[in-house]
Amino acid sequence: MSTTAPAPTALDVSATPPVPFGRLVSVELRKALDTRAGRWFTGSILALCLVVVVIYALAAPTESQSLGQIAGVAGGVLGYFLPVLVILMLTSEWSQRTGLVTFTLEPRRPRVIGAKLVAALLLGIGLIVVALVIAVLGNLIGGGDWSVEARVLINGAVVANLIAILTGFAIGMLLMNTPAAIVTYFIYTLVLPTAVGVLSALQDWFDKLAPWIEFNTAQQPLFMGDYRLEGQEWAQFVTAGLIWLVLPFVLGLMRLLRAEPK
Amino acid sequence: MITVQSLTKVYGAHRAVDDVSFTAQSGRVTGFLGPNGAGKTTTMRAMVGLTPPTSGTVTIGGLPYADIPNPGRHVGVLLDASAQHNGRTGREVLTIGARTMGLPDSRVEEMLDLVSLSGDEGKRRVRDYSLGMRQRLGVAHALLGDPSVLILDEPANGLDPAGIRWMRSLLKSYADRGGTVLLSSHLLHEVEQIADEMILIGRGKIVAQGDRKSLLSGGAASALVTSEDNERLAKALADAGIATSAAGEGLRADCDPAAVGRAALTAGVVLTDLRTGSAGLEDLFLSLTADTQREGHPSAATDQGDRA
């Protein structure tokens, strides 16, 4: 303090490497789980998953007991709530205003968003693994066989959850507000398919149109029949996916890159 | 060193920041003063790239903020102490910052000690923090990376008098070590005691800048005096060619206090109070921003009755 150092006018940044991407990812993972909301929500999803699996193991008829089927149940519960966790990772930056710090410590925003996406996917993979462990436990209780239809497992545990994570990510980016994003997500996943189902039952022309314009409907072939998309189903999956996943994702990305954190 | 050049930010028809240019030198504390909504925060946000300017540039140590690698290691920023996740503990908030900057976790404890948030307070959630504690946490966060430049928006807001004194000595010693400190305030007395240099802003425009002395040098000499016989004193002053006017319980004389004392001695009037009445920085601040103030300028700010 007493030695008056020559006041530097220029910053010497030669010895400072940029923040590595991996560090951003690990920080985003930590941020997803270090709040009471994040921790409780993650715990609740897994607890719910366990409860549903145990009930299924105890109540489902013998012919429905197999590792593959029970894993589908566990993955389904997870896929339902996983997007909310992803939404929180994005919206808390705005609703809790932490974006002020986040985007100041790393001003290159695409890197922050990329780190969040990777963190969301890693978190999703981690939870899928835990859900599969729960499914194994459930199958032990239910005493089902250990057969697994690979395609069901991939569709139910991986594809569905990947879509769920990306959907949550898109909604979170687009709305930047926790309550609005969560409500929108549940309207999208609960209310919309029901409304489409009702309309399809009433109007024949809408029944034909629905898989083209409603993503939940377009995904149904993944979980029915031979669990694969064929011909027109692919076209419907892509079209509806463009409308409900790609478009919101791109718009959300544009909004997030431009927004001024307040 | 922070250099702001012709910075302008327009929101629709509102010019939040209008052609602002100034420099915050290293080794000095620069106070950024202005009433609420004058454009201080917008200017500071533009400095760190959160608000893209309509025109103009800001460089920190010669670099645009976005070009500074790992900026937390070079520039400490506190824009809003309340902008922290309520569900995190104070320690966790700092841990996230330290991890992002690549600092050891021991740095977190050092900073908590530095701002006196040690022990249990660090383990409490930000939700349960008072505004003063949030400010201390925010300052700790800004200092985490041992930066050479500090940008603090209203850091004294919510601090108790002891906290303000603590903040003052902290920033002063920081600048003495060669650091650049830019802090904003809407309260003049928070800033005038530590700032080597002051920038006054009103309605998006810089209205004055300089050190305390040069900002005050423009004011005409004036003295506030109370005596046992104000009438006789006024007459004595008038005889000496000095104009007076009534001010509170006493008089305002358009001269320095020594001239009043001399006149009183000659006239044999007992003075009960005599001091300089030259417009303080506060009056200057208020008058400079008078047309930009929401409440207008209280004209009698230096009247004796208003001063303790």
> What CA–CA distance (Å, rounded) separates B245 from B263?
16
Candidates A10, A18, A92; nearest CB to B85: A92
User: Is residue B120 within 8 Å of residue B150, measured between CB atoms?
Assistant: no
Q: Which pLDDT belongs to residue B132?
A: 92
A contacts of B48 (beta carbons < 8 Å): 104, 107
Question: Tokens at residue A95, please?
Answer: 């609703």
Cβ of B50 within 8 Å of Cβ of A13? The answer is: no
Q: Where would I find the H helices in chain B? A: 40-47, 90-101, 106-114, 120-123, 131-143, 161-176, 188-192, 212-216, 230-239, 257-267, 281-288
A contacts of B25 (beta carbons < 8 Å): 7
Please tell me the distance in Å from B281's CA to the nearest CA on chain A. Answer: 28
Q: Which pLDDT belongs to residue B223?
A: 84
Hey, of B80, B96, B169, which one would you mutate to test binding to chain A, going by the most A CBs within 10 A of its CB?
B96
Averaged pLDDT of chain B: 87
Question: Tokens at residue A137, please?
Answer: 């436990």
pLDDT at B220 over 70: no
Domains by residue range for chain B, with CATH: 2-211 (3.40.50.300), 223-276 (no CATH)
Q: Which residue has the higher pLDDT, A8 or B297?
A: A8
Cβ of A35 within 8 Å of Cβ of B96? The answer is: no
Size of interface A-B (CB pairs under 8 A): 124
Please tell me the distance in Å from A143's CA to the nearest CA on chain B. Answer: 42
Of residues A201, A200, A219, the one with CA closest to residue A209: A200
B292 burial class (0-12, 13-18, 19+ CB within 10 angstroms)? middle
Cβ of B92 within 8 Å of Cβ of A108? The answer is: no
Name the one residue in this structure whose structure tokens are 């309550």.
A179
Task: Fill in the DSSP letter of residue B59.
Answer: E
Q: pLDDT tens digits, residue range B78-118?
A: 999 999 999 999 999 999 999 999 999 999 999 999 999 97
Cβ of A34 within 8 Å of Cβ of B88? The answer is: yes
Shortest CA distance from A3: residue in chain B:
B177
Q: pLDDT tens digits, residue range B246-275?
A: 888 888 888 888 888 998 998 899 999 988
Q: Which pLDDT belongs to residue B279?
A: 63
Q: Which pLDDT belongs to residue A1?
A: 42
pLDDT at B299 over 50: no
Name the one residue in this structure whose structure tokens are 């003495």.
B176
Q: Where would I find the H helices in B3-75? A: 40-47
Please tell me the distance in Å from B69's CA to the nearest CA on chain A. Answer: 4
Q: pLDDT tens digits, residue range B58-82?
A: 999 999 999 999 999 999 999 999 9
How would you classify the pairing of strands B197-202 and B205-210? antiparallel
Please tell me the distance in Å from B261's CA to the nearest CA on chain A. Answer: 42
Cβ of A17 within 8 Å of Cβ of B97? The answer is: no
Angstrom CA distances, A69 to A136, A145, B1, B64, B200, stand at 11, 10, 64, 56, 70
B contacts of A103 (beta carbons < 8 Å): 49-50
Shortest CA distance from A37: residue in chain B:
B87
SS3 per residue for B295-306: CCCCCCCCCHHH
Hey, of B50, B65, B108, which one would you mutate to test binding to chain A, going by the most A CBs within 10 A of its CB?
B50
Shortest CA distance from A38: residue in chain B:
B87
Q: pLDDT tens digits, residue range B17-41?
A: 999 999 999 999 999 998 888 899 9
In degrees, rounded to 5, the angle at the alpha carbon of residue A120 between the alpha carbons of residues A97 and A137 is 130
Interface of A with B (CB under 8 A): 1, 4-11, 13, 16-20, 23-24, 26-27, 30-31, 34-38, 92, 96-98, 100-101, 103-108, 260-261
Q: Which pLDDT belongs to residue B304?
A: 39
Domain boundaries, chain A: 21-257
CA atoms within 13 A on the CB side of A262: 4
Q: Which residue has the higher pLDDT, A28 or B240?
A: A28
Q: Per-residue pLDDT tens, chain A, 262 aa: give them.
A: 444 444 457 888 888 999 999 999 999 999 999 988 889 999 999 999 999 999 999 998 888 888 888 988 898 899 889 999 999 999 999 999 999 999 999 999 999 999 999 999 999 999 999 999 999 999 999 888 888 888 878 888 788 889 999 999 999 999 999 999 999 999 999 899 999 999 999 999 999 999 999 998 898 888 877 788 888 999 999 999 999 999 999 999 999 999 999 8
Q: Which pLDDT belongs to residue B291?
A: 63
Name the one residue in this structure whose structure tokens are 């693994």.
A129
Q: Which pLDDT belongs to residue A5?
A: 45
- DSSP SS3 for B109: helix
Shortest CA distance from A105: residue in chain B:
B72
Q: Which pLDDT belongs to residue A138?
A: 93
Q: Which pLDDT belongs to residue B301?
A: 40
What ipTM does this complex have? 0.89
Question: Tokens at residue A192, please?
Answer: 């919309």
The sheet with strand B180-185 has its strands ordered as B75-78, B149-153, B180-185, B29-33, B197-202, B205-210
Please tell me the distance in Å from B25's CA to the nearest CA on chain A. Answer: 8
